[in-house]
Amino acid sequence: MNDKTSIIGGSELSYSLDLETPAWVVLNGLEEVPEFRTSKGERKTTTINDTVHQFEDEMDTPQEQDITCQYHKADADQLAFRAAARNKTPVLIKCVYADGDELQVPVKLKNYGIPSGAPESTKYFVCTLRRTDDITHDEAAS
């Protein structure tokens, strides 16, 4: 593999219920890393009193990402995350990519559920991560 290529495989998603002093816990069973990006637009706020065009930042998008995880009934850490999702609890999310880059984002968990599936399929749970503040990026040295 080209050493300039970053991959998602081998990445790790962690959460912390403590927003002030994070104690990171790996979320096992994650099917794929959600998309974390900021896309801020501007909206025109010019009035007839202005001599030049005025703009304000809009809300950035996307603010919500869904995650899907394999349901591990005996995993106490996953149980704590599922309980937080059911209760719509604010948590911190940290994603460490395989190349060492990482990001942190405060989110509110919501829309917890168990999707339907064939009887022989693996049980999953899904929930939505609703971003509540900016994403913090930390790029690893190359």
pLDDT tens digits, residue range 37-94? 776 677 788 888 889 888 877 765 557 889 999 999 999 999 999 999 999 999 999 9
pLDDT of 62 reads 59
Q: Could you tell me how far CA 5 lies from the centroid of its own chain?
A: 22
Architecture of domain 12-138: Irregular (4.10)
Q: Are the C-beta atoms of residues 41 and 58 closer than 8 Å to each other?
A: yes
pTM to 2 decimal places = 0.77
pLDDT tens digits, residue range 124-140? 999 999 999 888 988 87
State in Å, rounded, how far the first CA of the chain is from the last one. 16
Q: What percent of the chain has pLDDT over 70?
A: 86
pLDDT of 91 reads 97
Q: Find tokens 């509110």 and name the residue.
A: 108
| Domain residue extents for the chain | 12-138
pLDDT of 44 reads 81
Does the pLDDT of residue 107 top 90, yes or no? Answer: yes
